[in-house]
Amino acid sequence: MKIVRAKDYKDMSRKAANIISAQIIMKANCVLGLATGSTPIGAYEQLVEWYNKGDLDFSEVTTINLDEYKGISRDNDQSYYYFMNEKLFDRVNINKKNTYLPDGMEPDSEIACRKYNDIIHSIGGVDLQLLGLGHNGHIGFNEPGIAFEKETHCVNLSSRTIKANMRFFADEKDVPRQAYTMGIKTIMSAHKILVVVSGEDKAEILKNAFFGPITPSVPASVLQLHNDVTVVADEAALKELDA
Ligand code: F6R
- For the stretch 146-203, pLDDT in tens is 999 999 999 998 887 788 788 888 888 888 999 999 999 999 999 999 999 999 999 9
- Average pLDDT rounded to a whole number, residues 102-117: 97
> Residue 42 above 90 pLDDT?
yes
* Amino acid type, 2: K
β-pairing verdict for 31-34 and 128-131: parallel
Backbone phi, psi, residue 212, to 5°: -95, -175
CA–CA separation, 59 vs 69, rounded Å? 27
Is 153 catalytic? The answer is no
- Average pLDDT rounded to a whole number, residues 22-27: 98
User: Using a 6 Å cutoff on CB, does residue 67 contact ligand 1?
Assistant: yes
Catalytic option among 65, 103, 106, 138: 138
- For the stretch 157-170, pLDDT in tens is 888 778 878 888 88
DSSP assignment of 86-141, as one string? HHTGGGS---GGGEE---TT---HHHHHHHHHHHHHHHT--SEEEE---TTS-BTT
- Ligand 1 atom with least separation from CA of 34: 7
- Mapped onto helix, strand or coil, the DSSP state of residue 29 is coil
Cα 67 to middle of ligand 1, angstroms: 10
CA–CA separation, 40 vs 124, rounded Å? 24
User: Using a 6 Å cutoff on CB, does residue 139 contact ligand 1?
Assistant: yes
Residue 173 has a pLDDT of 83
User: Using a 6 Å cutoff on CB, does residue 195 contact ligand 1?
Assistant: no
126 contacts 208 by C-beta, under 8 angstroms: no
User: Using a 6 Å cutoff on CB, does residue 134 contact ligand 1?
Assistant: yes
**C-alpha pair distances (Å), 158 with each of 83, 142, 144, 236, 243:** 22, 10, 8, 25, 29
- For the stretch 210-231, pLDDT in tens is 999 999 999 999 999 999 999 9
Is 108 catalytic? The answer is no
> Residue 9 above 90 pLDDT?
yes
